[in-house]
Amino acid sequence: MKNEELKIFAPATIANVSCGFDVLGLALDNVGDEMLIRKVAKKGVTITKIIGQDLPLETHNNVAGVAALALLAETESDFGFEIEIDKRIKPGSGIGSSAASSAGAVWAINKLLGNPFNSTDLVRFAMEGERLATGVAHADNVAPALFGGFTLVRSYNPLDIISINTPSKLYATVIHPQIEVKTSDAREILKTNIPLKDAIKQWGNVGGLISGLYTEDYELIGRSLEDYIIEPIRSILIPAFDPVKNKSLNAGALGCGISGSGPSIFALSKGKETALKVAEAMKSVYEKVGIEYDVHVSKVNKQGIKEL
């Protein structure tokens, strides 16, 4: 068997990106899971090892396992796959931990099979991992993990994923306060109906953000990073959200908001120097109130999953 084993990096991702609730996402460059996927004679999918986190090894209870099975259900392969995960993204941090493992598994298996599936198929399979993790098969983390850069989930039915131009100087700073916010809880507090006038502001900002990404207008990107719908509700679940946001903006961030359903807070900056200053500003808040945290500073990753 040729190419019988692949070692890959599957990036962490920031979903929603302020104004783009459930549709926008972006990939990080130096934060992600490392995975080893091996073609084996035994049919089916086996999770052989998980390093770094206490997560289920049973295939049907593991997001990578479930995503891989969704792919294999559409093939007639005479062999199976073993998956080892070096789990470097903490589950529940809000930077696409389940999405990275799900996307990584299907990307690598597709490659080992000779790429029978297109990228939309891969999103569809990886979404099954998301369904297991959160109860909702969302695509706004798995799409940027697979494609890199900024992605837009224009539509779920039919699934329509658009890769958006990603300016080269765009850096993300992410701080993860060590508290748990379950995606399902973060969804439950949202309102079923929203004011039309707020929705109009939101889609004005989505339009502005997409335009700013194509024209590489960093100021416009910054002005568009406003969320009138979700952030006012969800931010109450995140300790010291307002001071972290205010200090980030004062330190030069273009914008700042909740990463996915939280509790991580992200900021985007033009250039690494500013992104590092923003990290110091964010840290200073949690140092002061005594909350444990992780901080990541990363270029926006244009490649997505890659072989190591």
State the nearest-atom distance from the C-beta of 22 to its own copies, in Å.
5
Instruction: Choose among 189, 85, 97, 86: nearest CA to 134.
Output: 97
Does 220 engage in binding with its own copies (CB under 8 A)?
yes
**Residues 242 and 144 sit within 8 Å (Cβ to Cβ):** no
Does 206 engage in binding with its own copies (CB under 8 A)?
yes
Of 1 and 190, CB closest to its own copies: 190
Residue 92: half-sphere exposure toward Cβ, Cα within 13 Å: 12
Residue from the set 40, 229, 237, 295 that interacts with its own copies by CB under 8 A: 229
Catalytic residue selected from 46, 173, 183, 274: 183
Ranges within 108-167 binding its own copies (CB under 8 A): 152-155, 160, 162, 164-165
CA gap 138, 156 in Å, rounded: 9
Phi then psi dihedrals of residue 217, to 5 deg? -100, 95
**Pairing mode, if any, of strands 44-51 and 80-86?**
parallel
Angle at 262 between CA 23 and CA 181, to 5 degrees: 125
Residue from the set 136, 199, 236, 289 that interacts with its own copies by CB under 8 A: 199
State the nearest-atom distance from the C-beta of 162 to its own copies, in Å.
5
CB burial readout 273-304, b (16+ within 10 A) else e: ebbbbbbebbbebbeeeeeebebbbbbbbbeb
State the nearest-atom distance from the C-beta of 145 to its own copies, in Å.
19
Active site residue 173: no
Active site residue 183: yes
Catalytic residue selected from 130, 134, 231, 274: 130
What is the contact surface with its own copies in residues (CB under 8 A)?
A: 19-24, 152-155, 160, 162, 164-165, 190-196, 199-211, 214-215, 220, 223-224, 229
Give the active site residues. Answer: 130, 183
